[in-house]
Amino acid sequence: MVWALSNLDENDVDKIKKLEEETGIQLLSFSNYNIDFAELNDEQTKKIQELEKKLDVSLVAVSK
């Protein structure tokens, strides 16, 4: 399972914004997805980690 930012409709976004205004805090919405992670060798892992550092992101390798 992996978590990603949710794809919300306008009504859901409005509900979250209202709660943010009421509480004075900022919220992020995440949803989970059932996926299979790819099996990586050391070279693949190293290349992915290098790109993550360069782009300042986290990458998730998944099976096709």
Pairing of strands 30-33, 2-5: antiparallel
- Do 2 and 29 belong together in one domain? yes
**What confidence category does residue 4 fall into, taking pLDDT thresholds of 50, 70 and 90?**
confident
pTM over 0.75: no
pLDDT at 3 > cutoff 80: no
Domain that holds residue 60: 37-64
Closest CA to 34 of 5, 4, 9, 12: 4
- Do 41 and 64 belong together in one domain? yes
- Do 19 and 47 belong together in one domain? no
pLDDT of 1 reads: 67
Q: What is the pLDDT of residues 10-61, one digit of tens each?
A: 999 999 999 999 999 999 998 888 889 999 999 999 999 999 999 999 999 9
pLDDT of 22 reads: 98
